[in-house]
Amino acid sequence: MKYRCTVCNYVYDEEKEGTRFAELPGDWVCPVCGAPKSAFVTEDVGAVSGIKTTVADKLVEQLSAAGVTRIYGIPGESNLPLVEAIRISKDVDFILTRHEETAAFMASAHAKITGHIGVCLSIAGPGTTNLITGLVDATSDGAPVLALTGQVPQPYLGSEYLQEIDEIELFAPFSVFNETIASPGQTIRLTTLAIKYAYARRGTAHLSLPTDVLDMALEDSIWKPGMHVFSPKTNPLEEDIQKAVEAINNSIHPIVFAGWGTREGGDDVIALAEKIQAPILTTSRAKGEIHEDHPLAMGVLGSIGTPYAAQAAREGDLFIVLGSGFRQRNLVPDIPIIQVDINAARVGRSFPVDAGLVGDAILTVRELVKRVTPKVRDPEYFEKIEGIKRDYLEMILDESKDMSTPINPGFVVQSVKLHAKKDAYICVDVGDHTYWFYKKYQCTGEKTLMSSNMASMGFGFPASLAAQLEYPGRQVICITGDGGFAMVMADLTTAVWNDLPVKVIVFNDGKLKNIKKEQNMHGYPEYGTQFINPDFAAFAISCGGEGYRVEKPEELDEALENAFNSNKPAVVDVLVDPDRMAPIIVRPP
């Protein structure tokens, strides 16, 4: 027999050593790393037991049965059995990233884009801690994600072994499911439960995976997801629907406010708005779900929104919140509120509502459309709002013609619009450029993605990688600042390696301009916001992609055309005005 150390992989060969492993003294340790006898397993587990698959194999097989096709992450000693299981799988691909934060952001973005679970993996210790920002983003935005973290072998848990960390304690504050697979018999059940909880509670599920357990033999049958994992989408209670219908029928100027819960249901929202003649506002996350050239579309409501959305909110007498936790009561006058959300805890969370409906937003909208009474358009009411919208759109048009230097960020936004395809997927990072994009870009078919509740810098570029993997034939654009892109730009090589022709537009102003804005708002002088940037375009070329540096507005059109027509990842590094900041929209008292 041969026995292998699960810590260092040293093999004890009974024939060569002349002594049976079982006859070695109890205090015998591995001659290479000092591991105790308990850390050893039979080298050919399958031959001895007749079992040819391991815990890692079955875990990957169960994930595949649940529809998982990609796992993002970085391999290392504590997760090598899992990485090997992915390698031999015919249905699951491994996407290597340069940093675990990128892997977690990609898993989060995948879940937000598709509604299906995103999966990332890491080694123990620093790999695990590097995942946290992306996983917190997923939970805070209600995205189903599964994190698989390698762990040191069980004999060393609690001993301060190399890279050991209490993963369960670490993940407890933000995970919706958090368990260790400590024995082979737990594998199928805990993997399925992790998936169930990620969907049902809409957040990050976590499995801690000791290396020695991953390598143990297991031949359990896979659970069929159709018999164990069920959709949490339901209709609200009948009495709550009827209460909402009565409130809508009694209103004169209702407002529809569409959130992330209405994604892929834009036509249903429009049907409701047209029937009750209501302006449609959206959250920033839902930008693009409603074509913003629709007569009832008023754009995003909030600090990164449009002035005509804010005006519409002020003119209404009923606010209908669809698929959003909506915390900012100060954006709406003192009028009745209807709120629909799939999470009961988010309904009426920050303020009282007159009708609270717990259920899927799209299913609820379809019920409301059937039951509400049609309303007649009030020309005077809409003329006031549309007048502000017309003036604002004229200002955007003027901005698109601004050839001043340094380059106006608004000019960049309109130039991107000129070259973007109608079905483009636009991933937006966090910074001053976020305000410019959400205020000035009119989505007429394009979809958008962002880190909403966490507002995490660095999300935009990894999200664009995930989007391009999901939609290989679709135009994917990343709108980012120099601060956010510099945090994750090493993964441009990931785009090159995987043939992902993402287009990265860097708003390069040499500073954290949004922080400067916040310092100004609070009466502080600008401090600690400036930095030296590399040549992002040259960096892109050095990675095997394409790069274009734009210093004058007349150079931008050609750079965008070349980048967008390329089949390679491309970075357009635009030097924008460091002193021109997008204003924040607030509701006057």
What DSSP state is assigned to residue 217?
B
Answer for the pair 489, 98: CB distance below 8 angstroms, yes or no.
no
Answer for the pair 55, 218: CB distance below 8 angstroms, yes or no.
yes
pLDDT of amino acid 65: 96
Same fold across 238-383 and 400-575: yes
Cross-strand bridge partners of residue 72 = 95, 120
Q: Which residues contact 47 (CB under 8 A, 6 or more apart)?
A: none
pLDDT of amino acid 230: 84
Give the pLDDT band of residue 49 (cuts 50, 70, 90). Answer: low
Give the pLDDT band of residue 589 (cuts 50, 70, 90). Answer: very low
Tens of pLDDT along 409-449?
999 999 999 999 999 999 999 999 999 999 999 999 999 99
pLDDT of amino acid 505: 98
CATH dotted code for 238-383: 3.40.50.1220
CA angle 249, 250, 252 (to 5 degrees): 95
Residue 528 has, within 13 A of its CA and on its CB side, a CA count of 4
Nearest to 340 by CA among 318, 359, 354, 327: 359
Bridging pattern class, strands 254-258 and 355-358: unpaired
pLDDT of amino acid 47: 46
What is the average pLDDT value for the chain, to the nearest integer?
93
Domain residue spans of the chain: 2-43, 55-227, 238-383, 400-575
* Token output for 250: 């009694």
Give the pLDDT band of residue 132 (cuts 50, 70, 90). Answer: very high
Answer for the pair 437, 479: CB distance below 8 angstroms, yes or no.
yes
Fold of 2-43: Rubrerythrin, domain 2 (2.20.28)
Answer for the pair 514, 467: CB distance below 8 angstroms, yes or no.
no
Answer for the pair 432, 517: CB distance below 8 angstroms, yes or no.
yes
Sign of CA dihedral 529, 534, 535, 539: negative
Decide if pLDDT at 335 tops 60: yes
Nearest to 279 by CA among 317, 245, 244, 241: 317
Tens of pLDDT along 384-411?
889 999 999 998 999 899 999 999 999 9
What DSSP state is assigned to residue 302?
S
Give the pLDDT band of residue 46 (cuts 50, 70, 90). Answer: very low
Give the pLDDT band of residue 41 (cuts 50, 70, 90). Answer: confident
Decide if pLDDT at 585 tops 70: no
Tens of pLDDT along 139-179?
999 999 999 999 988 777 777 777 788 899 999 999 999 99
pTM over 0.85: yes
Decide if pLDDT at 134 tops 60: yes
pLDDT of amino acid 325: 84
Bridging pattern class, strands 337-341 and 145-151: unpaired
Secondary-structure breakdown of the chain: helix, strand, coil percentages, each rounded to the nearest 5: 40, 20, 40
Higher pLDDT pick, 334 / 292: 292
Average pLDDT for residues 529-545, to the nearest whole number? 97
Q: What percent of the chain stands above pLDDT 90?
A: 79
* Token output for 394: 């004229």
Neighbours of 80 (CB within 10 A): 17
The CATH class, in words, for 400-575 is: alpha beta
Bridging pattern class, strands 546-550 and 204-210: unpaired
Decide if pLDDT at 89 tops 80: yes
Q: Is 205 helix (H, G, I), strand (E, B) or coil?
A: strand
Answer for the pair 62, 187: CB distance below 8 angstroms, yes or no.
yes
What is the per-residue burial (b if ≥16 Cβ within 10 Å, else e) of 459-482?
bbbbbbbbbbbbbeeebbbbbbbb
Question: Cα(176)–Cα(188) distance, rounded to whole angstroms?
Answer: 18
Average pLDDT for residues 218-242, to the nearest whole number? 89
pLDDT of amino acid 587: 46
Average pLDDT for residues 517-545, to the nearest whole number? 95
Bridging pattern class, strands 2-5 and 11-13: antiparallel
Residue 398 has, within 13 A of its CA and on its CB side, a CA count of 6
Decide if pLDDT at 262 tops 90: yes
Question: Cα(557)–Cα(550) distance, rounded to whole angstroms?
Answer: 10
Decide if pLDDT at 586 tops 60: no
The span from the first CA to the last CA of the chain, in angstroms, equals: 81
CATH dotted code for 55-227: 3.40.50.970
Sign of CA dihedral 280, 110, 461, 101: positive
188, 190, 196, 202: CA torsion to nearest 10: -140
Give the pLDDT band of residue 588 (cuts 50, 70, 90). Answer: very low
Neighbours of 7 (CB within 10 A): 23
Nearest to 337 by CA among 265, 250, 254, 269: 254
pLDDT of amino acid 48: 47
